[in-house]
Structure 1
């Protein structure tokens, strides 16, 4: 199989799998752009191909429901900016800092997905992430509201029910089935749960405010601020998350090279 045909088959398979959810949900379907890519042009072309495959596989599909997940690097977020102008909706993933959130909002991403915990915590049982970034979800949502950005916070990477309760009030939430099941069995009153939320008015007012700033046309300014954020930890967490996603991308590509699988269909 030629490299081009192999690439098309891999994304056809992935998009086809995502499209099976369309009749089952009322919201968006999310498809991740290849995290191993490096340049803005590559991310843009990748997202365009994903959109094209959606239309080819299911001509009746409402493309406004497609949201392409793009890594929150300078190159990835500049791609989101261009994709927005092309009518392709985006989500900024692998996001751990307010600087990334601000640039994503300027790029008019539909969502940002702050990872409460480092991705490593989900793949290495011996690793303990002692610094969950719950406050960033509050800080980013407050910033978007204060400065009239359309971008919404879609928190991800939770490890406990308590963390889910603390994020009650976030615009959107990715939550694992086991945590959702536990929450469904809770007998606490809604008011009791609300009191534990970081999004309560008092907590919001006491949260650290961020003055309006801009990074969209200043790469050097963004890179410097991002590198310094949380003493450099945000940059390290982002790189680690991209590395993990890339590893699984490569594994998926390897699986797609299996002759028995590629002969299907």
Structure 2
């Protein structure tokens, strides 16, 4: 049994890509996309006809609508290959606008439904700002399921649990990147690998908290830099993995051990916490890593959203 199949015994494997032509090889249950991944995919020659067709079909409409229709087109292609769900992201420029995020999430679902896709097969991806979490809570009450992304801090995970969102995507690799950069020459890779990796420890803390207190929100570790980070989280509800790392795991026969277990979490001594808006903002502010990585992530997705629009204007 290869490493990828071994992981699938403990965890639902999700492919982190907008390149749906790669999906068949790895047989993931679900797939996730984001503005950067879609931008990367649409620049490949394979996808030029799909982009051109979408732009021609809706030329003259508002650019935000054309973008959403392109995202849904990719999502539908992905759903024709995988058995589960696809995550489609709301424009990152709306990360601090609750009402606009709700409206965009509703439109994305309407576009999917117009293509015959049931809303249960789509997760609307929203940044884990306070405004984003409130928007997700409203969408969930309307029966629209959400995936809260750019999640770096424990307080973000707690607030998402309170909002009863469907799924969260804590970012392992970007947490690791921050701590490694911050430590500089003092960083010792061996001391911060696998179970000691700061990103892995963050996800494990969230997983254990959710299981301890019966929080139904699914935990999906994301943003991996190496296979060791992935296998250290075996047992997590889901893990979303890039095609490169999926290929590495498929080519390896190294055994996989389950590290995260719901029963162990339920028996753990963990304190229950809750956040109102002021408490959330203070806790996030007091976490320098999370504050920096959240802002950086939103900025990067905003830049890629603009690049995608420029590419569509030129199509």
**TM-score interval w.r.t. the shorter chain?**
0.7 to 0.9
Residue 203 of structure 2 is aligned to residue 137 of structure 1: yes
Task: List, as ranges, runs of 4+ consecutive aligned residues in structure 1 with deviation greater than 6 Å.
Answer: 126-131, 200-203
Distance 2:147 2:267 in 1: 28
2:286 to 228, 232, 239: 228
Measured at CA, do residues 205 and 83 of structure 1 come closer, stay the same or move farther in structure 2, by a change above 3 Å? closer
Distance 1:48 1:210 in 2: 37
- Match in the other structure for 1:20: 77
- Match in the other structure for 1:95: 151
| Distance apart, 1:116 and its partner CA | 0.7
| Distance apart, 1:211 and its partner CA | 1.7
| Distance apart, 1:149 and its partner CA | 1.1
5+ residue gaps, structure 2, are 1-58, 188-196
| Distance apart, 1:5 and its partner CA | 2.5
> What TM-score do you get using the length of structure 1 for normalisation?
0.83
Alpha-carbon RMSD: 2.6
2:113 to 32, 51, 55: 55
Residue 255 of structure 2 is aligned to residue 199 of structure 1: no
Measured at CA, do residues 33 and 17 of structure 1 come closer, stay the same or move farther in structure 2, by a change above 3 Å? same
Residue 142 of structure 2 is aligned to residue 86 of structure 1: yes
- Match in the other structure for 1:166: 232
5+ residue gaps, structure 1, are none
| Distance apart, 1:227 and its partner CA | 1.2
| Distance apart, 1:115 and its partner CA | 0.7
> What TM-score do you get using the length of structure 2 for normalisation?
0.70
Q: Could you say which structure has the greater relative contact order, defined with CA pairs below 8 angstroms and 6 or more residues apart? A: 2
| Distance apart, 1:243 and its partner CA | 0.9
Contact map agreement 2:140 2:146 (CA 8 A) in 1: yes
- Match in the other structure for 2:20: none
2:274 to 214, 219, 225: 214
Measured at CA, do residues 39 and 177 of structure 1 come closer, stay the same or move farther in structure 2, by a change above 3 Å? same
Contact map agreement 1:117 1:132 (CA 8 A) in 2: no
- The 3-state SS of whatever aligns with 2:260 is coil
| Distance apart, 1:203 and its partner CA | 8.6
- Match in the other structure for 2:173: 117
Q: Which moved more, 1:239-248 or 1:179-188?
A: 179-188
Measured at CA, do residues 47 and 118 of structure 1 come closer, stay the same or move farther in structure 2, by a change above 3 Å? same
